[in-house]
Every structure is written in C-alpha cells, then in structure tokens.
C-alpha cells in the first residue's frame, strides 16, 4: 500500500520540487561533487523528458565559492559571504548546465530573496515566470540571492528548505522532495543504535519537533528542524513532502519509481487558493494582534472573523490593508490576515463591541478587524 500511495502522490502532483542541500552537493573540502550533480541531473532529466514538471532548489553557491577560493571556513563578514556566493553561483550553474545539456534540457537560473515572495506583485511575477519556464520544458534552478540578501534587512529565507517550501507553494498540488544527508526522520537521534526510520507521517504533531537531533556543518544553514517546518507548511496547504538521503546515488531514482525511501509527510489540509497560501506562508507581517481565548476559539475552530472585542492589544507599524499576525495571549501565532484598520484605530477599539466603533472612531467602518475571507490559519 505505501508504494501505491507514493505512486498516486507522484501522479497527482502538478509539480515536483526537489531541494538539494550543500552537504549533498559538496565534498568535505567544500568543492562541488560533480559526480553527484551528474547523477542528480540524470534523474531529473528522465522525469522532464517524461513531461513531468520539475523544479530544482539548489544550495551550494557559498560552498562552491569556498571550494573555488580554497577556503576551509564559512566567512563571517556579510560582504565576504556575499562575494563568495557570487563566485560560487557561476560555478554551480555552469556545472548544472553542462550535465543537463547531455539530455538536451535547458537550465534557467532564478535567484530570489524573501521580499520577492512577500510582495504580492513580485510573488505573482515569480510564479508566472517559473510556470512559463516549465512550459518550455526547461529546468528552473532556484537559489536564494545571497549577493543581495541581508539579515539586517530581514530579506533572508534563513535556509533553502523554507525557500523550497515557498516555491512549492506557488503551485496547487506540489510534491516537495528534500534531499539531505540522513535517510529521513527517525524516532530518536539517528546515531542511537535503537533509532528507527519513520516511513510515513500521516498526521502532523508538535511532538515531531522533539525528535530532531541537529548536526552542525560549516557549509550549510539548514537542519532537520527547518525541513520539518517546510513539511508542515506544504502539508498544511495541500501538498505532500518526502525527506530522503541525497548522499545515496539511487535515492532520487527510487523516489521517482515510488519506492519506499525516506519519510513521506501526507497532506493535512485540502486545497488552498494561491492567495491563501501567499497570505499564510510567504508574506512578511507588519504588526500583530493579541487575541483573548474567546477570539482564538472563534478564529481557529469556528471559522469566524476577528472582531474588536476579542483583541487584547496590538503592536507594529501597520496601516489599513496591512498584513498582521494574529497571536494568542502566550505569543503563539495562530493566523495571518489583512486588517481593516491601522494600528491607531485598533488600539482605540480593542476590547470594544462592534456597536461602539462608530462612537469611538466617528465612522461606521467595518464590523470586523480581520474578515474571515482575508485570514489564513498558520497552525
């Protein structure tokens, strides 16, 4: 049954996004492992030539740059890190292009920052461009634009696992494959002799994060926790995810043959519109609304809009139409949405009945601070 299920997932996915990490693509010295890239492109091209829509999200620019420059440690200074990424990106894409050309497949380099997918207009432009690349039968190779992505400006994805999930969420029913250097998710630390691989996760649980045992590398930023967060994002919006060992040359071919490799995470929620996926996962918030227990219950379990009476406090710099995070009294984010009021107005009407809005603000305004149609749960 699991193999049949995986086969069904492959057949019904409108796109397969494959993310490969730095540790899979490079050797212990930071140099690109061209044999691994050849194996990877062979498997990707086999599916592309069968008319399957494939996207590759590839780490490795900084690692490739380090190897090219003979560096043994990841640079600490931002300007150095960005320069190394720029040097490595050229080598990375040239290597992919060389092996893809053996199959008559073209590559298309797409560099993104978090702002590109947080901004609604650029989000749609990115989606349309990537879809058109796929229509031409080419392979989009996507990476974070490390040369302009700056932590202090909050434009970094943090790791390519999140980037891969955001790219997958541009599509309706994606399959996200995260290739890493472990076999999948284990029920305890993988180095424990009693550890068992979990072949399938049917229902998401916060306890899954407790299973994470991180390894540290001077060449990569992600870890199992970031992969679980990516899995939660995709399965929560109508897609499926597989985490598997990219160090094994046969892994990707086995996955495309629907063999029981790695850990598969099954979709938790039905289809979400592109706007809902953008609102819930890609956009960066401008402020937050703190809800009381009754409002949390109404929003999360009853499918209601957020009324002013359920707001305890608010913060940020948002105006009317801004994106706000809805959090409970413990600071846990439960949803995101478009607000009908700016911060000043929210602070004036918080905790008040809808009938009091006109008296307080001098205008009828909206009954809801965030309407249900403009709200997306995130947990």
Report residue 241 CA to chain centroid gap: 11
Topology annotation, domain 2-276: Carbamate kinase (3.40.1160)
Are 337 and 283 in contact by the 8 Å Cβ rule? The answer is no
C-alpha dist (Å) from residue 210 to 181, 185, 187, 217: 19, 11, 9, 21
Token reading at 155: 């434009």
**pLDDT attached to residue 379:** 64
Token reading at 7: 């086969």
Pairing label, strands 174-180, 287-291: unpaired
φ/ψ (deg, to 5) at 245: -85, 110
CA dist., res. 354 & res. 18, Å (int): 48
**pLDDT attached to residue 153:** 31
**pLDDT attached to residue 105:** 96
Kindly give the confidence (pLDDT) of every residue in the chain, 379 residues in length, as a single tens digit, with 9 standing for 90 and above.
467 789 999 999 999 999 998 888 877 766 788 899 999 999 999 999 999 999 999 988 877 888 888 887 878 788 888 888 889 888 899 999 999 999 999 999 998 877 788 888 888 899 999 999 999 999 999 988 766 655 433 344 446 888 999 999 899 899 999 998 889 999 888 878 888 999 999 988 878 877 775 554 544 445 788 899 899 889 988 899 999 999 888 999 999 999 999 999 998 866 677 778 888 887 789 999 999 999 999 999 999 999 999 999 999 999 998 999 999 999 999 999 999 999 999 999 999 999 999 999 988 789 999 999 889 888 6
**pLDDT attached to residue 150:** 52
Domain 285-377 has what CATH class? Answer: mainly beta
CA dist., res. 116 & res. 289, Å (int): 25
HSE-up (13 A, CA, CB side) for residue 323: 17
Neighbours of 90 (CB within 10 A): 14
Neighbours of 41 (CB within 10 A): 24
Q: Domain segments of the chain: what residues?
A: 2-276, 285-377
Token reading at 14: 């409108």
CA dist., res. 74 & res. 80, Å (int): 9
- 2-276 and 285-377 agree in CATH topology: no
CA dist., res. 15 & res. 131, Å (int): 10
Please report the sign of the dihedral spanned by the C-alpha atoms of residue 365, residue 371, residue 373, residue 374. positive
Cα-only R_g, the chain: 22
For 108-133, letters b (16+ CB in 10 Å) and e give: bebbbbbbbbbbeeebeebbeebeeb
Closest C-alpha among 323, 327, 320 to residue 361: 320
Q: What single DSSP character describes residue 291?
A: E
Q: Per-residue DSSP letters for 15-39?
A: EEEEEE-HHHHB-TTS-B-HHHHHH
Token reading at 230: 């990516």
pTM of the model: 0.81
Token reading at 82: 């960005």
**pLDDT attached to residue 155:** 42
**pLDDT attached to residue 194:** 86
Q: How would you list the strands of the sheet with 263-265, edge to edge?
A: 107-112, 139-144, 54-58, 15-20, 174-180, 240-245, 263-265, 200-201
CA dist., res. 345 & res. 339, Å (int): 11
Are 133 and 49 in contact by the 8 Å Cβ rule? The answer is no
Token reading at 199: 């072949």
49 CB-near residues (< 8 Å, 6+ apart): 103, 105
Long-range pairs of 268-274 with CB within 8 A, sequence gap ≥ 24: 268/203, 268/204, 268/235, 268/236, 269/235, 269/236, 269/237, 269/238, 270/238, 271/172, 271/173, 271/238, 272/237, 272/238, 272/376, 274/127, 274/170, 274/172
């Amino acid at each position: 049954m699991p193999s049949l299920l995986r086969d069904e997932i492959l057949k019904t996915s409108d796109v397969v996004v494959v993310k490969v990490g730095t540790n899979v693509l490079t050797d212990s010295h930071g140099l690109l492992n061209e044999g691994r890239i050849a194996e990877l492109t062979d498997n990707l091209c086999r599916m592309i030539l069968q008319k399957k829509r494939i996207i590759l999200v590839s780490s490795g620019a900084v690692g490739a740059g380090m190897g090219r420059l003979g560096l043994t440690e990841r640079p600490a200074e931002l300007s150095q890190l960005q320069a190394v990424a720029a040097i490595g990106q050229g080598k990375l894409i040239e290597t992919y292009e060389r092996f893809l050309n053996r199959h008559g497949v073209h590559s298309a380099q797409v560099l993104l920052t978090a702002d590109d997918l947080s901004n609604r207009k650029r989000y749609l432009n990115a989606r349309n461009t990537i879809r058109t690349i796929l229509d031409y039968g080419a392979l989009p190779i996507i990476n974070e634009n490390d040369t302009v992505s700056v932590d202090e400006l909050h434009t970094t994805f943090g790791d390519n696992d999140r980037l891969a999930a955001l790219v997958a969420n541009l599509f309706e029913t994606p399959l996200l494959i995260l290739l890493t250097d472990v076999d999948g998710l284990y029920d305890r630390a993988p180095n424990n002799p009693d550890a068992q691989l979990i072949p399938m996760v049917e229902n998401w649980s916060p306890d899954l994060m407790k299973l994470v045992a991180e390894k540290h590398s001077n060449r990569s930023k992600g870890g199992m926790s970031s992969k679980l967060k990516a899995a939660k994002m995709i399965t929560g919006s109508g897609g499926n995810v597989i985490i598997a060992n990219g160090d094994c040359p046969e892994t990707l071919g086995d996955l495309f043959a629907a063999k029981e490799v790695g850990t598969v995470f099954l979709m938790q929620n039905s289809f979400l519109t592109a706007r809902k996926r953008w609102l819930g996962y890609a956009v960066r918030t401008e402020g937050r609304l703190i809800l009381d227990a009754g409002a949390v219950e109404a929003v999360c379990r009853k499918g209601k809009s957020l009324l002013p009476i359920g707001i305890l406090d608010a913060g940020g710099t948002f105006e009317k139409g801004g994106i706000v995070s809805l959090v409970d009294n413990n600071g846990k984010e439960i949803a995101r949405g478009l607000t009908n009021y700016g911060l000043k107005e929210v602070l004036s009407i918080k905790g008040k009945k809808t009938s009091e809005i006109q008296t307080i603000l001098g205008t009828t305004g909206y009954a809801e601070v965030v309407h249900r149609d403009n709200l997306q749960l995130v947990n």
